[in-house]
């Protein structure tokens, strides 16, 4: 039995994704530190309630965004797979109608309709005038490719080795 050749490509974070993710952690540490400081200063009730609200929110955001962010791209003759910690996404080649490169102009005025717009990457449902609604799995806003499938779905991924697509 001949094994199918699979190319695995890492998703590398852009400077913007690094900045947004670092900024999120800086804000989380500052808020949590401030709440702990208020407890130490004697405002136990307000600090504990704030900590009880803020800590689970920050943890939930990190678990969701890190778990569903694109980790690696696997490309083979039969499919393209976006590997994530939870629930990887597979696009069979048999349903792909086209794969075309996108420019920064194509991504102007893109809005997140549900998902993440920079923390650990760009993933989820997005929309803009040029493409309409689409699902994106990217960690940088360059080297983007639009995959259109027979069922009308549009996927935007970034790939730094486009010859493999």
pLDDT at res. 1: 66
| Contact by Cβ (8 Å): 7, 72 | no
User: Residues 21, 121: contact at Cβ < 8 Å?
Assistant: no
Among residues 44, 91, 84, 45, which one has the least CA distance to residue 65? 84
Q: Rounded to the nearest 5°, which phi and psi values hold at 71?
A: -105, -50
Q: Are 157 and 147 in contact (CB under 8 A)?
A: yes
pLDDT of residue 84: 96
Kindly state the percentage of the chain with pLDDT values over 70.
99
Classify strands 132-138 and 154-158 as parallel, antiparallel or unpaired. parallel
Q: Which helix (H) or strand (E) holds 29?
A: helix 15-40
**pLDDT given for residue 28 in this prediction:** 95
Q: Which residue has the tokens 């009880």?
A: 52
Instruction: Provide the β-strand partners of residue 121.
Output: 118
| pLDDT score for 115 | 87
pLDDT of residue 135: 97
CA pair distance 114, 98, nearest whole angstrom: 25
pLDDT along the chain (165 residues), means of 10: 84 95 96 89 81 93 95 95 95 96 92 92 95 96 95 94 87
Query: What pLDDT, on the 0 to 100 scale, is given for residue 48?
Result: 86
Q: What is the pLDDT of residue 156?
A: 97
Q: Cα separation of 91 and 147, whole Å?
A: 9
pLDDT of residue 61: 95
- pLDDT of 50 reads 87
């Amino acid at each position: 039995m001949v094994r199918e050749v699979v190319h695995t490509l890492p998703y590398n974070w852009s400077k913007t994704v690094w900045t947004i993710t670092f900024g999120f952690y800086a804000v989380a540490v500052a808020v949590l530190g401030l709440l702990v400081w208020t407890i130490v200063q004697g405002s136990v009730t307000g600090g504990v309630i704030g900590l009880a609200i803020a800590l689970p929110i920050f943890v939930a955001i990190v678990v969701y965004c890190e778990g569903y962010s694109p980790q690696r791209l696997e490309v083979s003759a039969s499919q393209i797979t976006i590997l994530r910690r939870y629930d990887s996404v597979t696009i069979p080649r048999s349903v792909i109608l086209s794969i075309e490169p996108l420019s920064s102009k194509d991504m102007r005025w893109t809005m997140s309709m549900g998902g993440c717009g920079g923390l650990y990457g760009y993933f989820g449902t997005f929309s803009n005038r040029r493409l309409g609604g689409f699902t994106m799995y990217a960690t940088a806003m360059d080297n983007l490719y639009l995959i259109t499938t027979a069922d009308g779905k549009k996927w935007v991924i970034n790939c730094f080795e486009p010859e493999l697509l």
